[in-house]
Amino acid sequence: MEKKEILTLSAIELAENIREQKVTSEEAVRAVFENIDEHECKIHAYLDFWKEESLKKAREIDEMLANRAYSETALNPGNSEAEGLADPGEELPPLLGVPVAVKDNLMLSGRKMTCGSKMLQDYIAPYSATCIEKLEKAGAVIIGKTNMDEFGMGASTEHSFFGATLNPKDTNRVPGGSSGGSAAAVAYGGAFAALGTDTGGSIRQPAAFCGLVGLRPTYGSVSRHGLTSFASSMDVAGPVTRGTRDAAALFNIVTGPDEKDQTSISAPKVDLSKMESYDLTGKRIAVPKQLISGGSIENREAIDRTSEFLKNNGATVDLIDMPLLDYAVAIYYILSSAEASANLSRYDGIRYGYRASGAEDITELYRKTRSEGFGTEVKRRILLGNYVLSSEHFNDCYRQAERARDMLKKAFADVFSKYDMILCPTAPGVAPLLHEIDKDPLSAYIADLCTVPASLCGLPAVSLPFARKEADSARKEEDTADPSAKALPVGIQLIGPRFGEQEILGAARFLEKGGQKR
Amino acid sequence: MQSSQNLLERIARLSGLTLSEEEKDILFSDLSRIVPYMERISELDTSVADAVSDDISDNEALFRDDEEKAPSLASEIVKQAPQAKDGMFHVPRIV
């Protein structure tokens, strides 16, 4: 198969072709590295990648497929603890031989994990995250670690100590964040799929800006073991992929309870054949008016046309009022910053990571290390977190936000007693221009309005690209303040009740298939 | 927000941070806008809500037996230390 043809395959199609030996894993790995060689110097999606080792692993997989002689030791040399990818005669692993990228806040044993921070620039992960182990067990060839906003704090991947990632759809723009490296890598064909992490929208928003599918799974359905903590009550790892079926397949691989994460839980897997036969007839879909006011013209069009399409296919779509959503950004930034300020207190220059030189006593060592090791956005969140946790403000800010979060959870539970899912935009508009977000941090926070509600309430949510027709782009230029935005991807988001992955991915697949008809 | 540089300095101390003059200016200006936005939540009547700080996810806590399973990573972890000696973290004088 030609390189061009290989790169048109989805991750699960590629896996199928590799299993049937129509394509070799080596050809697939070479194809993505050709793209990496061509685009990486401009886009900077990766912080680290390993071509030779990836090719070696791919060749081992190909050889074993050819011989049908699977053995644990051959695929995992020197790692007697790891379970083998497959025994002879057993079903082959679902992602066998597929090149996949992972965000650099997930531990991959023996590889650097920087979290986009000077603080961890030389840190080598001593073990692998549970979701990474599951990905490897599923046969994926992990080819590199992707760039991100420092410790996940940001929405543009400009807040990386190692430099910004650019949006492959328009290199004057940001790819979104914080999983911007994962999204950019998949968008330019530098990986067939990637894992990102989502605290307040960090999978969904970059997926939207890069024209991809991003799934934030139900909180707890994917183990956080080996995921660097930002806001522990909201952090979750999930897939960034080119299509909904890949997102479901990756979710099925990484989900599952884990005794190393006490908040992890057994969640139902997504049945891909049910997803394919999903029927919208009788489905009840809510659009909260608070999440569509103030968005761009591209967004209004996406929501209007998607609503129309859903109705034409048998669903009911109602505009609903959820007044608490006006406070969602405030609640999110109070709680996430409070949790971040506590979680990031571990970076003190003593046990691992950066240590400042020239400190005369231990207090000075802590302060110098943290002041030199953290970037401005991280400092902003730590300061905000310590402000809301300080004794004078604890009740009015932190406690009040906890209570408001409880009310929001109840408000969503009430909506899901009447509706199957929620439809809303993923972000207020298309990908912003580079450095635009930097100018005003408060506006950047407010732009998270559509993604933070699912985060606060532990709900699953998927962002998928709204299929825009050429004719849609023929709007008069005065319709939009930024004519170059016309051709850029717009994301729409479906939010479901806890464990509602099957429902939202079914509907997302229906929309994806119907894209040409909208 | 009590709009004073003193407050910022106090919070910075609590945060284990020393801010440069330039950072103080930037962060003070940002936080002077961010904090009032966040404090809008005081408008909400939350008397009907539960205090939920111990109820993050509704997930039932997952427990495991208190047994060592994986081989100890202690030596791997100490290797990551900026300074280590005889398997222990090396730090400046504390007292």
DSSP letters for A79-100: -TTSPPS--TTSPPPTTTT-EE
Among the partner-chain residues A349, A380, A402, the one whose CB lies closest to the CB of B51 is: A402
What is the predicted pLDDT for the residue at A515?
Answer: 73
3-state DSSP call for residue A427? coil
Q: Quote the crossing angle between the two packed helices A376-389 and A328-343, to the nearest 10°.
A: 100
Structure confidence at residue A78 as a pLDDT band (50, 70, 90): very low
| Residue type (1 letter), A88 | P
CB contact under 8 A, B57 and A263: yes
**Are the CB atoms for A373 and B16 separated by under 8 Å?**
no
- What mean pLDDT is predicted for residues A325-340? 98
The two tokens of residue A366 are 């802590």
| Residue type (1 letter), A69 | A
- What mean pLDDT is predicted for residues A177-206? 98
C-beta contacts of A65-73 below 8 A and 24+ residues apart: A65/A18, A65/A19, A65/A21, A65/A25, A65/A92, A65/A96, A65/A97, A66/A21
**Are the CB atoms for A161 and A118 separated by under 8 Å?**
yes
Smallest Cα–Cα separation from A151: which of A335, A377, A457?
A: A377
| Neighbouring C-beta atoms of residue A436, cutoff 10 Å | 15
What is the predicted pLDDT for the residue at B52?
Answer: 58
Of A3 and A110, the structure prediction assigns the larger pLDDT to A110
- What mean pLDDT is predicted for residues A143-151? 98
The two tokens of residue A493 are 């988001």
What is the predicted pLDDT for the residue at A82?
Answer: 40
What is the predicted pLDDT for the residue at A88?
Answer: 55
Residue B49 resides in a domain: no
Contacts of A281 (CB under 8 A, 6+ apart): A313, A314, A315
Q: Phi first, then psi: give them for residue A323, nearest 5 degrees.
A: -55, -30
Contacts of A149 (CB under 8 A, 6+ apart): A116, A155, A156, A157, A158, A159, A160, A177, A178, A180, A202, A377
Task: Give ∠ CA A105-A502-A491 in degrees, rounded to 5.
Answer: 60
Ordered structural domains, chain A, with CATH: 3-273 (3.90.1300.10)
- Residues of B with CB below 8 A from A447's CB? none
Residue A473 has pLDDT above 50, yes or no: no
DSSP one-letter code for A255: B
Cβ-Cβ pairs closer than 8 A, A with B, add up to 186
DSSP letters for A356-405: -SS--SHHHHHHHHHHHHS-HHHHHHHHHHHHHHSTTTIIIIIIHHHHHH
ipTM of the complex model: 0.90
Contacts of A246 (CB under 8 A, 6+ apart): A10, A11, A12, A192, A193, A213, A239
Smallest Cα–Cα separation from A129: which of A97, A100, A102?
A: A102
**Are the CB atoms for A423 and A290 separated by under 8 Å?**
no
- What mean pLDDT is predicted for residues A23-48? 98
Say if B84 is an interface residue toward chain A (CB within 8 Å).
no
DSSP one-letter code for A323: G
What is the predicted pLDDT for the residue at B95?
Answer: 75
- Residues of A with CB below 8 A from B1's CB? 387
Residue B32 resides in a domain: yes
| Residue type (1 letter), A130 | T
**Annotated catalytic residue A202:** yes
The two tokens of residue A206 are 């970059």
Domain limits at B24?
5-43
Among the partner-chain residues B11, B77, B89, the one whose CB lies closest to the CB of A387 is: B11
Q: Which of A25, A178, A221, A337 is catalytic?
A: A178
Structure confidence at residue B75 as a pLDDT band (50, 70, 90): confident
| Residue type (1 letter), A30 | R
The least confident of A120-134, A271-285, A409-423, A429-443 is A429-443
Structure confidence at residue A481 as a pLDDT band (50, 70, 90): low
3-state DSSP call for residue A37? helix
Residue A471 has pLDDT above 50, yes or no: no
- Residues of A with CB below 8 A from B12's CB? 383
Residue-wise pLDDT for B32-66, tens only, equals 999 999 999 999 999 888 765 444 556 667 778 88
Residue B30 resides in a domain: yes
Calpha distance A245→A193 (Å, rounded): 11
DSSP one-letter code for B72: P
**Are the CB atoms for A292 and A257 separated by under 8 Å?**
no
Residue-wise pLDDT for A221-268, tens only, equals 999 999 999 999 999 999 999 999 999 999 999 999 999 999 999 999
Residue A369 has pLDDT above 80, yes or no: yes
Calpha distance A204→A183 (Å, rounded): 10
Residue A334 has pLDDT above 80, yes or no: yes
Quote the number of domains for chain B.
1
Residue A81 has pLDDT above 50, yes or no: no
DSSP E strands in chain B: the ranges are: 84-85, 88-89
Smallest Cα–Cα separation from A246: which of A425, A423, A32, A505?
A: A505
The two tokens of residue A207 are 């997926």
Torsion angle, alpha carbons of A437, A441, A442, A448, to 10: 60
**Are the CB atoms for A147 and A116 separated by under 8 Å?**
yes
Preferred mutation among A406, A459, A499 to probe B, highest tally of B CBs within 10 A: A406
3-state DSSP call for residue A485? helix
- Kindly give the pairing relationship between strand A284-288 and strand A316-320: parallel
- Residues of B with CB below 8 A from A403's CB? 46, 49-52
- Cis? peptide before A336, omega within 30° of 0: no
Task: Give ∠ CA A282-A284-A288 in degrees, rounded to 5.
Answer: 160
What is the predicted pLDDT for the residue at A467?
Answer: 75
The two tokens of residue A405 are 């979060």
The least confident of A197-211, A320-334, B36-50 is B36-50
Q: How far is B39 from chain A (nearest CA, A)?
A: 7
**Annotated catalytic residue A463:** no
State the DSSP H helix or E strand holding residue A195, giving kind and residue range, or none if neither: strand A193-198
Task: Give ∠ CA B46-B51-B55 in degrees, rounded to 5.
Answer: 130
